[in-house]
A and B are shown apart, each in its own frame.
Chain A
Amino acid sequence: MAYFLQQLINGVTLGSIYGLIAIGYTMVYGIVGMINFAHGDVFMVGAFIALIAFLALTAIGITAVPLALLLVLIIAMILTAVWGWTVERVAYRPLRESFRLAPLITAIGMSIVLQNFIQIAQGARVKPLQPVVTGGYELFQQGSFSVIVSNIQILIVTTTVLVMGGFWLLINRTALGRSQRACEQDRLMAALSGVDVDRTISLTFVLGAGLAAVAGLLYLLYYGVIDFFIGFVVGIKAFTAAVFGGIGSIPGAMLGGLIIGLIETFWSAYFTIEYKDVAAFSMLAIVLIFFPTGLLGRPEVEKV
């Protein structure tokens, strides 16, 4: 029981990170109908920006952890958002009216570019960071096994909930969110009613990249080590999460992220750690057999 609870806590933490990235995938899919393959690598760039910003702040003497983390979060979100915007501007916008696979190929190309750019600019070695947020609470003890919630886990889940809350307000209560939802439903009609579609799409990428930067920072703090290749595995997992929840649905992305995080954690805890990805992917295939459009996805309307 205690072991189960501990794994549940770990799973929710991991799921939060996946969820934040999955939202980037699902929003972009909802609005332009393309798989933004480079999103995982934008997350990776975000993690690197967070790492470098953190080191830079330490170097100039800002060592108070809460202040430093807040500054790092803001810097990482802004700069990663610029990356997200640039990727969209360079690789996707010229192909807006093209056929569906064209942006997918440029997305894969961008993913290769980002990975190799970071590898060249920062080196291929893993980048370790000393634990920044330490300590934790012992919930209860069962035998010799104690269930621990570490501060970093609390920080991750709280940040995720806060960011998600803010994001929900942004989508549902502001003019930007309204135009975003309008473009998602019908881009042509939205344009006819005076929504600047290009701008909205750009902002969608900016928002997604911002969330990815949050995830990047949290990932960096949680694992304490990043390299240029993390974007691929985490990105695929997050995309799986988005599809799991029903791609295009924002609550679905969050739910999918949690489920993928839990599956992975529990599989590693009770079975073998080597096959955790196989478990997550097989679960995806099984779920899609019964829910062909994901858990919370809208069924696709077939028109002739």
Chain B
Amino acid sequence: MRLADSGKTLGRKLSSALGDSLLAATIAFALFSLVLGLRTVDSATGLALEPRPALLATVVAIVFFGRLALNLFVWQTDYPLTRPFAKLFTLEPFETRDEVTLALAFALGVLGVAAGVLFQETLYGLLGTLMLAFIGIGLLRRAIVRTFPNLPYTQVFVAGGILFALFFPIVSYALESAFNLGLPLRYWFDLSILILTYVMLGWGLNIVVGLAGLLDLGYVAFYAVGAYTFALLATHFGLGFWIGLPIAGAAAALWGIILGFPVLRLRGDYLAIVTLAFGEIVRIILLNWTEVTGGPNGIAGIPKPTFFGLPFSPFAEGTTFSGFFGIHYDGLHALIFLYYVILVLALVTNLVTLRLRRLPVGRAWEAMREDEIACRSLGINTTLTKLSAFATGAMFGGLAGCFFATRQGFVSPESFTFIESAIILAIVVLGGMGSQLGVAIAAIVMVGGFEALRHTAGLQAIFGQEFDPALYRMLLFGLAMVAIMIWRPRGLVSSRAPTISLGDASAISGDLVRQGRG
């Protein structure tokens, strides 16, 4: 009886899976037939078309078989093939079939790595390594959580992260100079400075979006204001970074208030579009006001920060950083210093946010996010509350902008396009709005992942040597944004610790917090 039943359902499953995959393939064909199957190329008589039937067929085939495999092994079975892998990251006990699947996957991974090593097949090697790493991390995590079930993991994680951030440059630099390991230190420091800049921007925007619940699509405007303020002050009046920093922050905050005024009455998406418009206005003005901003050429020659007045330069004995401390000059010193500047700036942003949340104004922000009307009826001045949120967020944006200007030594409107705002907002939302830790993780994942795509020996092995990773980077970035959001709609860190509570302050699900209503 059961056998017959399952046989019948198997047939039905197969036919429905086939039908579904055929439908998907048809849609894929409709989508790609013109835009991928035909390529417009320049010719003597204007545009000509160059057919690419093989590419089109490949894409449609990938859609068909991919969908078929998903249907058969994941969506339409009683026990999806993905479950053992999901179980890896829980404490559920393994069944035999889980163990068999995982063992097979492990064997495949080993095979892949072996193929990579023996036959120089980069692709198989990469996939095998990824598979082994995935399983390894899962098993390790299980083992640790099982052995120490009561550790405060979040705190340990945060403390470890901060310690790592504090000591990573010093330790790696010391190791390098002691043993000459040939580490790509310059690249590491550049990348971590970039990530920390985005962490700071994310934390700054988090005040506006995550705490006050105001959707700001033009945050990059404040970043630009800060950067240009310092660039102009430095090039015209010769001000240094440490004097320029507070001025840039104040200028950005001022602009936050100026923008805040007209938008106070707006809600939700009206607010979003006005902030977006403001961001574009700032960029267009920077682009066209050539006499002051240099237009598309930007402003160059912005000085680097000094260490209590000591510049990081190889010249001028006694008055430079290396001369004063009597150490050998190294270009990396300046980079390490920049790293600590942005680390401190980012941590200050975080600290201020955490402290503000305990002050009346921070409480008012969160109350306003939850319910503006209730907030008003309790006597909170929502106008001032919104303004203060905008100004605070803008100030941190301006500080980050000032740092950006001094790090690059050059600013131009190209660095302040809408896509920057979108990336910062994505970092805040993907991190789980209102969660400081989540924002930091999201910045590392997004910016670091984006950067990792630059080194794409593996990707080149997949797509051939003419594959240009820079071209595909943004495409993959966009896909990752969509995928992460669908996978974790509440962001990577989706639990919230209440700011204030009676008795135990236990974390709640992010679903219970209203977010970004404007």
A-to-B contact residues, CB < 8 Å? 29, 35, 45, 48-49, 51-53, 55-56, 59, 75, 78-79, 82-83, 86, 90-91, 94-95, 98-102, 104-106, 108-113, 115-123, 125, 127-130, 232, 236, 239-240, 243, 247, 272, 274-275, 277-278, 281-282, 284-286, 288-289, 292-294, 300, 302, 304
Q: Collect the chain A residues with CB atoms within 8 Å of residue B481's CB.
A: 105-106, 108-109, 112
Residues of chain B from 481 to 518 with CB closer than 8 A to chain A in the complex = 481-482, 485-486, 489-490, 511, 514-517
Query: Which of A35, A51, A79, A304 touches B33 (beta carbons < 8 Å)?
Result: A79
Q: Is B440 an interface residue (CB 8 A)?
A: no
Q: Collect the chain B residues with CB atoms within 8 Å of residue A119's CB.
A: 471
In the bound complex, CA of A210 to CA of B419 (Å): 26
A-B CB contact pairs (8 Å), 25 listed: A49-B35, A51-B40, A53-B34, A56-B34, A95-B489, A99-B489, A101-B429, A109-B478, A109-B485, A113-B482, A116-B472, A118-B35, A121-B35, A122-B39, A232-B418, A236-B418, A239-B273, A240-B277, A243-B270, A274-B288, A281-B277, A281-B281, A288-B274, A289-B262, A304-B374
With A100-B516, A278-B285 in contact, do A110 and B478 touch (Cβ < 8 Å)? yes
Q: Is B266 an interface residue (CB 8 A)?
A: yes
Q: Collect the chain A residues with CB atoms within 8 Å of residue B276's CB.
A: 236
In the bound complex, CA of A113 to CA of B272 (Å): 22
Q: Collect the chain B residues with CB atoms within 8 Å of residue A102's CB.
A: 429, 485, 489
Q: Is B394 an interface residue (CB 8 A)?
A: no
Closest Cβ of chain A: how far from B426's Cβ, in Å? 6
With A101-B433, A113-B479, A292-B265 in contact, do A129 and B46 touch (Cβ < 8 Å)? yes
Beta-carbon contact of B277 and A284 below 8 Å: yes
With A105-B430, A240-B277 in contact, do A100 and B517 touch (Cβ < 8 Å)? yes
Query: Which of B36, B288, B433, B482 touches A106 (beta carbons < 8 Å)?
Result: B482
Beta-carbon contact of A113 and B478 below 8 Å: yes
In the bound complex, CA of A190 to CA of B40 (Å): 45
Q: Collect the chain B residues with CB atoms within 8 Å of residue A232's CB.
A: 418
In the bound complex, CA of A111 to CA of B425 (Å): 14
Q: Is B85 an interface residue (CB 8 A)?
A: no
Residue ID in chain A nearest B34 by CB atoms = A52
Residue ID in chain A nearest B269 by CB atoms = A35
Q: Which of B27, B374, B485 gathers most chain A CB within 10 Å? A: B485
Query: Which of A113, A129, A240, A289 touches B265 (beta carbons < 8 Å)?
Result: A289
In the bound complex, CA of A110 to CA of B485 (Å): 12
Q: Collect the chain B residues with CB atoms within 8 Å of residue A247's CB.
A: 269-270
Q: Collect the chain A residues with CB atoms within 8 Å of residue B426's CB.
A: 105, 108-109
Q: Collect the chain B residues with CB atoms within 8 Å of residue A272's CB.
A: 288
Beta-carbon contact of B39 and A123 below 8 Å: yes
With A240-B277, A282-B281 in contact, do A304 and B49 touch (Cβ < 8 Å)? no
Q: Collect the chain A residues with CB atoms within 8 Å of residue B47's CB.
A: 51, 55, 127-129
In the bound complex, CA of A292 to CA of B274 (Å): 11
Q: Collect the chain B residues with CB atoms within 8 Å of residue A289's CB.
A: 262, 265
Q: Collect the chain B residues with CB atoms within 8 Å of residue A99's CB.
A: 489-490, 511, 514-516
Q: Collect the chain B residues with CB atoms within 8 Å of residue A285's CB.
A: 262-263, 274, 277-278
In the bound complex, CA of A282 to CA of B418 (Å): 17
Closest Cβ of chain B: how far from A100's Cβ, in Å? 6
Q: Is B78 an interface residue (CB 8 A)?
A: no
Q: Which of B265, B270, B373, B374 gathers most chain A CB within 10 Å? A: B270
Closest Cβ of chain B: how far from A270's Cβ, in Å? 17
In the bound complex, CA of A101 to CA of B490 (Å): 10
Q: Is B475 an interface residue (CB 8 A)?
A: yes
Query: Which of B27, B36, B285 touches A121 (beta carbons < 8 Å)?
Result: B36
With A56-B34, A302-B373 in contact, do A117 and B39 touch (Cβ < 8 Å)? no
Beta-carbon contact of B270 and A293 below 8 Å: yes
Closest Cβ of chain A: how far from B433's Cβ, in Å? 7
Closest Cβ of chain A: how far from B487's Cβ, in Å? 9
Query: Which of B27, B38, B278, B480 touches A86 (beta carbons < 8 Å)?
Result: B27
Beta-carbon contact of B471 and A94 below 8 Å: no
Q: Is B176 an interface residue (CB 8 A)?
A: no
What is the count of residue pairs linking A and B with beta-carbon distances less than 8 angstroms? Answer: 191
Q: Which of A94, A109, A113, A121 gathers most chain B CB within 10 Å? A: A109
Q: How large is the interface on B (under 10, 10 to 19, 20 to 34, 35 or more residues)?
A: 35 or more
Q: Which 4 pairs show the lowest CB-CB distances between chains A and B?
A: A112-B478, A109-B481, A281-B277, A113-B478
Q: Collect the chain B residues with CB atoms within 8 Å of residue A78's CB.
A: 30
Beta-carbon contact of B281 and A278 below 8 Å: yes
Beta-carbon contact of B267 and A292 below 8 Å: yes
In the bound complex, CA of A121 to CA of B288 (Å): 32
In the bound complex, CA of A95 to CA of B40 (Å): 36
Q: Which of A286, A288, A293 gathers most chain B CB within 10 Å? A: A288
Residue ID in chain B nearest A286 by CB atoms = B262
Q: Is B474 an interface residue (CB 8 A)?
A: yes
Closest Cβ of chain A: how far from B55's Cβ, in Å? 9
In the bound complex, CA of A124 to CA of B269 (Å): 32
Residues of chain B from 232 to 285 with CB closer than 8 A to chain A in the complex = 262-263, 265-270, 272-274, 276-278, 280-281, 284-285
Query: Which of A111, A117, A281 touches B280 (beta carbons < 8 Å)?
Result: A281
Q: Collect the chain A residues with CB atoms within 8 Å of residue B337's CB.
A: none
Beta-carbon contact of B288 and A275 below 8 Å: yes
Q: Which of B273, B276, B285 gathers most chain A CB within 10 Å? A: B273
Q: Is B145 an interface residue (CB 8 A)?
A: no
Q: Collect the chain A residues with CB atoms within 8 Å of residue B38's CB.
A: 52, 55-56
Closest Cβ of chain B: how far from A194's Cβ, in Å? 25
Q: Collect the chain B residues with CB atoms within 8 Å of residue A302's CB.
A: 373
Q: Collect the chain B residues with CB atoms within 8 Å of residue A75's CB.
A: 34
Beta-carbon contact of A82 and B284 below 8 Å: no
Closest Cβ of chain A: how far from B378's Cβ, in Å? 12
Q: Is B351 an interface residue (CB 8 A)?
A: no
Q: Is B158 an interface residue (CB 8 A)?
A: no
Beta-carbon contact of A240 and B273 below 8 Å: yes
Q: Is B108 an interface residue (CB 8 A)?
A: no
Q: Is B48 an interface residue (CB 8 A)?
A: yes
Q: Which of B38, B41, B265, B486 gathers most chain A CB within 10 Å? A: B486
Beta-carbon contact of B486 and A95 below 8 Å: yes
Q: Collect the chain A residues with CB atoms within 8 Å of residue B425's CB.
A: 105, 108
Q: Collect the chain A residues with CB atoms within 8 Å of residue B39's CB.
A: 121-123
Beta-carbon contact of B517 and A278 below 8 Å: no
In the bound complex, CA of A82 to CA of B26 (Å): 11
Q: Is B200 an interface residue (CB 8 A)?
A: no
In the bound complex, CA of A75 to CA of B30 (Å): 10
Beta-carbon contact of B288 and A123 below 8 Å: no
Q: Collect the chain A residues with CB atoms within 8 Å of residue B262's CB.
A: 285-286, 288-289
Closest Cβ of chain B: how far from A61's Cβ, in Å? 14
In the bound complex, CA of A121 to CA of B39 (Å): 7
Closest Cβ of chain B: how far from A89's Cβ, in Å? 9
Q: Collect the chain B residues with CB atoms within 8 Å of residue A101's CB.
A: 209, 215, 429, 433, 515-516
Residue ID in chain B nearest A97 by CB atoms = B489
In the bound complex, CA of A304 to CA of B514 (Å): 14
Q: Mark B10-43, 1 if CB is under 8 A from A, else 0.
A: 0000000000000000010011011110111110
Q: Collect the chain A residues with CB atoms within 8 Å of residue B31's CB.
A: 79, 82-83, 86
Query: Which of B40, B42, B265, B269 touches A52 (beta carbons < 8 Å)?
Result: B40
